[in-house]
Amino acid sequence: MMKVHVDQDRCQGHGRCYLAAPELFAADDLGNGREIGAGPVPAGLEHQAQLAVANCPEGAVAMEETS
Ligand code: SF4
């Protein structure tokens, strides 16, 4: 299972993650991105997760495999 995570110390609120993958990310009250729930990437959404990682200008979005 893959998971996504937003590093809140790096996020500057550009919003690209939740525009690219609204199934996986949402904006908080400041417009910063956050993974939804614990960040699981359901089957079929891997491409959107990779897009979010690639398009975050702050390098704040990470994707990792969990056991
Ligand atoms: S794209 Fe990056 S900087 Fe922008 S809201 Fe998402 S995590 Fe934050």
Q: Which residue out of 4, 5, 19, 61 has the highest number of ligand 1 atoms within 8 Å of its CB and is therefore the one to mutate?
A: 61
Asked if residue 67 has pLDDT above 80, the reply is: no
Which residue segment(s) compose the domain that 6 sits in?
2-65
Measured CA angle at 35 (ends 29, 39), to 5 deg = 155
8-64 confidence digits (pLDDT tens)? 999 999 999 999 999 999 999 999 999 999 999 999 999 999 999 999 999 999 999
Say yes or no: CB of residue 51 within 6 Å of ligand 1: no
Total of domains in the chain: 1
31-40 confidence digits (pLDDT tens)? 999 999 999 9
Task: Check: CB of residue 3 under 8 Å from CB of residue 67.
Answer: no
- The residues facing 2 across adjacent strands are 41, 65
pLDDT at position 44 is: 97
CATH number of the domain residue 23 falls in: 3.30.70.20
